[in-house]
Amino acid sequence: MRRYHARMSSLDDLRRHTRVVADTAEYLRLPGLGAQEATTNPSLVLRAVRAAEYAPLLREPALREAAARDRDEAMDRLLVRFGCEIVQRVPGRVSTEIDARLSHDTAASVERARRVIGLYEACGVPRQRVLIKLASTWEGIEAARLLRDEGIACNMTLLFSFAQARACAAAGVQLVSPFVGRITDWARQQAGAAWDAQAHSGERDPGVLALLRIWNFYKARAIATEVMGASFRDVAQIAALCGCDLLTVSPALLGELAQSSRPLPRRLDPDKPAPAEDDAPLALSRAGFAAALAADPMCSSKLEEGIGLFAADTEALLELLRD
């Protein structure tokens, strides 16, 4: 009798070559997503607490008491509350973001990161299972360097440029998250009606190419910093980066991958990186970093736009805590 074997899903293929991370704060969905880690941010937490399943967290006595004293502390407690639920449902790490309004304040970012880690440890979650998310500003990267020396690992978010990636590597950060989708959004917006979706798909996608430049540079130089692609717009972007260290993917796209039987072959092999595009030095001075961002309108505008959006959602979270 002939036996038929079900084809593995695209998500199964991806998991063979890449560490899959769920981009969500909705921890009740995690068991069905097949992710090994999870990333959160203020926007994702805000979306979750507006849903009936998670709204009761806002009414927990400990959180209400904290909100009466200090809403910033209450917000950190809320973020950690979500993180503690997440680490019960994934075997790996959770990324928790520091208040985006502090993105240009190194000292304040360090203090808030210490508090978040302290809250996790008080709940029995070791710091090895937490990544502190910081914006990839000069001040955020410096905060990550200082926290690294205390054994606190960071995930550098809102990363749009090669200069940001070089500065992060020079600081010895744990992980960088190039925003693939938002880079492509910028290119599409600039092209307007002339945008050719077919010509800029898959391996020719601008966001994919930006991440590949960083990944190849890191691997060619044996830089230990992990690369995690983020902000994906479609499965084609994910497929083009199969083999990247990590990819953080929305539940919707994870579901699409799980339902697909399309093979996802490895595209990136850490043992066989493509030649680095240039021999740029790793370190940047503060002035050099500022000049590089000023010369890159996509990076400078997307970085500040992202900080602004996260800061606005942080304010919305604080209002919910006040109410």
pLDDT digit string, tens, across residues 250-259:
999 999 999 9
The share of the chain scoring above pLDDT 70, in percent, equals 97
58: its two tokens: 């806002």
71 phi-psi bin (left φ>0, alpha ψ -120 to 50, beta other): alpha
Q: Which residue of the set 133, 219, 272, 302 is catalytic?
A: 133
pLDDT digit string, tens, across residues 134-148:
999 999 999 999 999
**Spatial contact of 202 and 236, defined as CB atoms under 8 Å apart:** yes
133 flagged as catalytic: yes
Could you give phi then psi for residue 243, rounded to 5 degrees? 110, -10
pTM confidence score = 0.95
Residue 2 lies in a domain: no
The overall average pLDDT reported for the chain is 94
Please check the confidence at residue 268 and state whether its pLDDT lies above 90.
yes
Residue 1 lies in a domain: no
Please check the confidence at residue 3 and state whether its pLDDT lies above 70.
no
204: its two tokens: 């020719």
pLDDT at 9: 96
Please check the confidence at residue 101 and state whether its pLDDT lies above 70.
yes
Residue 216 lies in a domain: yes
The share of the chain scoring above pLDDT 90, in percent, equals 90
pLDDT at 1: 44
**Among the listed residues 165, 32, 127, the one whose alpha carbon sits nearest the alpha carbon of residue 89:** 32
Residue 114 lies in a domain: yes
Residue 56 lies in a domain: yes
pLDDT digit string, tens, across residues 26-79:
999 999 999 999 999 999 999 999 999 999 999 999 999 999 999 999 999 999
Q: Total domain count for the chain?
A: 1
Going by C-beta distance under 8 Å and a sequence separation of 6 or more, which residues neighbour residue 225? 168, 169, 172, 173, 174, 175, 176, 218
pLDDT digit string, tens, across residues 69-93:
999 999 999 999 999 999 999 999 9
pLDDT range class, residue 7, cuts 50, 70, 90: low
Cα separation, 262 vs 243, whole angstroms: 16
pLDDT at 6: 58
Residue 4 lies in a domain: no
Domain carrying residue 55: 10-318
pLDDT digit string, tens, across residues 200-231:
998 999 999 999 999 999 999 999 999 999 99
Please check the confidence at residue 263 and state whether its pLDDT lies above 80.
yes
**Spatial contact of 41 and 26, defined as CB atoms under 8 Å apart:** no
pLDDT range class, residue 323, cuts 50, 70, 90: confident
pLDDT at 322: 86
Please check the confidence at residue 4 and state whether its pLDDT lies above 60.
no
Residue 236 lies in a domain: yes
Residue 299 lies in a domain: yes
Which domain CATH number covers 240? 3.20.20.70
